[in-house]
Amino acid sequence: MARGLFPWGFFRKPLYIQARFSYLHMKYLFFSWLAVFVGSWIVYVEYSSYTELCRGHECKNSICDKYKKGVIDGSACSSLCEKQTLYLGKCLTANPNSQVYSGSWGDLEGVIKCQMEEAPHYDLGGEPRKETSAAFNKPTKGTSVEKFREMITDHLKAKVGDQANLADLATQVLSIADGNKDSHISLPEARSTWALEHTPKLLGFCGDLYVMEKVPHSPLYGISLPWIIEMWIPAGLRRSMDQWFTPSWPHKAKISIGLLELVEDIFHGTFGSFLMCDVSATTFGYNDRHDLKVMDARHIVPEAIFQEVIRQQRCDVDEDCLYGADCLTSCDLTKHRCTTEVTRPNLAKACDALKDYILRGAPSDMSEELEKQLYACIALKGSAEQMEIEHSLILNNLKTLLWKKISHTKDS
């Protein structure tokens, strides 16, 4: 009878609800703590990576210190170190030894690159050597302008071979060296020019810091995704996604013609032949007029220097004879040394990079012929010298096919 007077189920139900609430509460707290921990870890990693990569203030201090001591000079030095009109903006650095920033110089928008002191420099052979302030030890005090011209000419001859127009190229280098345009080359200006690497569209420089024209659209195509998402996307879909945000087809045709003309220019060009050892979308960009721009010229190397170094490379398989991403030769197993002839010419690599880009959205009345020409281009083997006629024929056919389609439009 007592059992009937006390409804035990009434007491058990609140206990069950209370236990369930406590479980949910603990679960919520656990996942909240986990989210805070993971978020804090990501912030810490990102901040650590940023501070390790982005050392623009150190580079500026080093450059300005050399400038004030009279070791270096250049057209950008006064603006950077005295007038404070050259500003470093957003950090774009991928390698801590080579600082890259967006920036402004008065009314000009550009990209500022600065080589950190004692950054390792890699020759074609792959062996690093340290670059210190010793890079600015040449020329020595008392060197005449004519002697400096001779030094530049000898340096260019070593890089590109004995070309007929080396004197013209040396004159162009000397005109860049005169940073303040006073028709005289000071010792600091000469030292800065001697240490400066070749860069396209140079706006100004100060020692190892130089200001380049800003390229508003880069890379040539492709979208950047977090690595956690990249893992789950099939390769075919990923290639298709890279073409989602490209310009209209006539504009892509103009950009593609620009790349083909670049290949033509560096093959038996005015100052010798060059090899393109990284022909990828990240290497190129374009401006608002859809003119092709080279974003990174470090892997466009003189063929003569490449051959001289690669023949000394020891190898067991062909893969040991690779420089950059694209310059591959074969391995001579009798000598265990690399041969000097690349297996694919520049044009084949350029067509491979352009294939998906230019075929997507191509007009129906020429897409079949364009695809045929591109695949014939990709199939090219051996060096361009060995198949010069076929190389030139395919190059001209592609340029003509694209140009005919856009020559009557405003996009040309």
Query: Nearest to residue 179, comparing CAs of 153, 204, 159, 201?
Result: 204
Q: Reduced to 3 states, what is the DSSP secondary structure of residue 212?
A: strand
Q: Give the pLDDT confidence score for residue 235 in this predicted structure.
A: 77
Which residues are registered as beta bridge partners of 286?
217, 292
Assess whether pLDDT exceeds 90 at residue 378.
Answer: yes
Q: What is the mean pLDDT of residues 313-338?
A: 92
Assess whether pLDDT exceeds 70 at residue 71.
Answer: yes
Q: Rounded mean pLDDT of the chain? A: 75
Assess whether pLDDT exceeds 80 at residue 249.
Answer: yes
Assess whether pLDDT exceeds 90 at residue 337.
Answer: yes
Q: Note the pLDDT tens digit of each residue in 291-314.
A: 888 877 777 888 888 888 899 999
Q: Reduced to 3 states, what is the DSSP secondary structure of residue 207?
A: coil
pLDDT-based confidence at 117, cuts 50/70/90? Answer: low
pLDDT-based confidence at 36, cuts 50/70/90? Answer: confident
Q: Note the pLDDT tens digit of each residue in 104-116.
A: 888 888 888 887 7
Look at 141 and 27; give whichever has higher pLDDT.
27
Token representation of residue 227: 């690595």
Q: What is the mean pLDDT of residues 148-176?
A: 63
Rounded-to-integer distance, Cα 253 and Cα 357, Å: 9
Alpha-carbon 166 to chain mean position: 27
Q: Give the pLDDT confidence score for residue 351 in this predicted structure.
A: 95
Rounded-to-integer distance, Cα 154 and Cα 269, Å: 19
Assess whether pLDDT exceeds 60 at residue 69.
Answer: yes
Q: Give the pLDDT confidence score for residue 21 in this predicted structure.
A: 56
Terminal C-alpha separation, the chain = 101
Assess whether pLDDT exceeds 60 at residue 202.
Answer: yes
Which residues are registered as beta bridge partners of 101?
91, 112
Percent of the chain surpassing pLDDT 70: 66
Assess whether pLDDT exceeds 50 at residue 192.
Answer: no
Amino acid at position 94, single letter:
A
Q: What is the mean pLDDT of residues 392-407?
A: 91
Assess whether pLDDT exceeds 80 at residue 256.
Answer: yes
Q: Give the pLDDT confidence score for residue 120 in this predicted structure.
A: 37
